[in-house]
Amino acid sequence: MIFIGEENMNMVNKKEMEEKNVMPLLHITKGYDFTVRTKDGKVLANKTVKCKCTPYEKDYFYRDDEYPEFLMKTDENGCINLALYDYYPSNLKVEFDGDDEIDGFVAEYTFDKEDLLNQIDIREAELRKKAEEERKAQEKKAAEEAKKKEQIRLRKEQKLAWEKKQAEFKANEPENIAIELEGISINFKITNDKIDNLKEYIIRTIKRNKGETRVLHALKDVSFKVHKGEKIGLIGYNGAGKSTLLKIISGVYESDEGTMTINGNIAPLLALGAGFDKNYSGRENIFLNGAILGYNEEFLRGKYDEILEFSELGDFINLPVKNYSAGMKAKLGFSVATLVDPDILIIDEVLGVGDITFKKKSRAKLDELMESGTTVILVSHSINEIRSICDTAIWINEGEVKDYGEVNEICDKYVEDAQNASKAKVKKQRLR
């Protein structure tokens, strides 16, 4: 009689599987060691045997009644090791064809049913988890592709609408031009001297020991047109000249070269409260700041209650501005600057000033102005804000107009350039 005796039928852990080099450690695997002996106890050493397993359930994983046959060779102790992956056998059949020493035989071993059921449950759970993960991944991929296609479609529609609108603008020129700049340039003299009073300046001038000055070309030959009702976004890196350009349009700076035409009244929302006198009360600064913006005293007196209510300052209006917080100054400045509906609205990074309540109110006021057909020029480092508000973008780089066109197209180029610049900077730092 020949029989297979079970030596070990325990779950093989990861370490044991690595030591035995059974198979890649990607799934739960059952490892079994069997010793083949003859009836008199002689082991079947170094012999090739044919193994075949009968599946636990017919058609569970295979259509046939049996798994494919495979050959194994017993070791010097007559052992064979089975690493059963995706196999749930109820019966193992070992066949030896025989040789000069031992006659051929067929032996069988029956596996534990409860252990097999547990293995089947584990595998089914793994398959379900994998299928669910694949389904979610496919759904996510499909959703991303659909979103991308929809975005491309919308971008094409927006580009066509922009081109149509630009054609209408050009057809009605020059009547519909709100702002026109031709060859605008401005330079600043920069010195390292720390001269903070007139006396020091005169003494250093007489002694001729003032430091050398250098010229900063803030803007160089800037030209473009803004049509009535158009929403323009100025984008660019820090120091590109965006704020300087807005100050020239607003009349704060006078350009060294070029010509500028403005058709309509301007409400500049630059540095809110920049014209305030810190020793004056909020009430007195309403008239001071209003005068700077071009409003007469009679008009401001008629609008005083409206300004006070919108600013939400209450009794603080009678205190000196030097006691105001930055948010309170911004509230008062915004309330004066948006007092009337301007033809042209200049906004420099001031969207959403003050506390959360005032932010909502100020944004609603800006939306109201923009929807009324007001021409808007906006400077912001928030590309999403530029995309949502503007229809045209102007990219300013090192004081020059680098690109001009439909807002999404120009913003995409700017974002790509910024990403490439960041990668180059990181690469440069790594090489140091």
DSSP 279-345: TSBHHHHHHHHHHHTT--HHHHHHHHHHHHHHHT-GGGGGSBGGGS-HHHHHHHHHHHHTSS--SEE
User: In this structure, what DSSP letter does residue 39 have?
Assistant: T
Lowest mean pLDDT among 37-41, 90-94, 223-227: 37-41
Tens-digit pLDDT profile for residues 231-249: 999 999 988 899 899 889 9
Q: Where are the alpha helices (DSSP H) in 89-236?
A: 113-171, 198-207
pLDDT tens, residue by residue, 153-200: 998 998 999 999 999 988 888 889 999 999 999 998 877 666 666 777
Rounded CA gap, 330 and 354, in Å?
Answer: 6
Using CA atoms, how far residue 320 sits from 161, 309, 316, 407, in Å, is: 50, 18, 8, 43
State residue 352's pLDDT score: 56
* 42, pLDDT greater than 60: yes
Q: What is the pLDDT of residue 3?
A: 35
pLDDT at 357: 77
For the cut 90, the answer to whether the pLDDT of residue 290 exceeds it is no
Give the pLDDT of residue 432.
38
Residue 316 in this model has a pLDDT that exceeds 60? yes
Q: Which of the residue ranges 57-71, 137-151, 294-308 has the most confident prediction, judged by mean pLDDT?
A: 137-151
Superfamily of the domain at 177-431: P-loop containing nucleotide triphosphate hydrolases (3.40.50.300)
Q: What is the pLDDT of residue 2?
A: 34
Q: Are 52 and 14 a contacting pair, CB within 8 Å? A: no
* Average pLDDT of the segment spanning 107-127: 74
Q: Name the band, by pLDDT with cuts 50, 70 and 90, for residue 353.
A: low
Q: Percent helix, strand, coil in the chain (nearest 5)?
A: 40, 30, 30
**Average pLDDT in the chain:** 78
| pLDDT value of residue 293 | 72
Q: What is the pLDDT of residue 141?
A: 93
Name the CATH topology of 2-111.
Immunoglobulin-like (2.60.40)
Split at pLDDT 50, 70, 90, the class of 226 is: very high
Q: 265 pLDDT exceeds 70?
A: yes
Question: Hunting for tokens 């009689």 — which residue is that?
Answer: 1
Mean per-residue pLDDT, 29-45? 74
- Which residue ranges make up each domain of the chain? 2-111, 177-431
Helix/strand/coil for 395: strand
Q: What is the pLDDT of residue 28?
A: 42
Per-residue pLDDT, 4: 39
pLDDT for 137 beyond 80:
yes
pLDDT of 138 reads 93
Residue 99: pLDDT band (50, 70, 90) is confident
Query: Are the C-beta atoms of 200 and 245 separated by less than 8 Å?
Result: no
Band of pLDDT at residue 10, cut at 50, 70 and 90: very low
> Coil, helix or strand for 221?
strand
Average pLDDT for residues 203-222, to the nearest whole number?
77
Closest listed residue to residue 82, CA positions, set 25, 26, 6: 6
pLDDT in tens, 373-401: 889 999 888 898 899 889 999 999 989 99
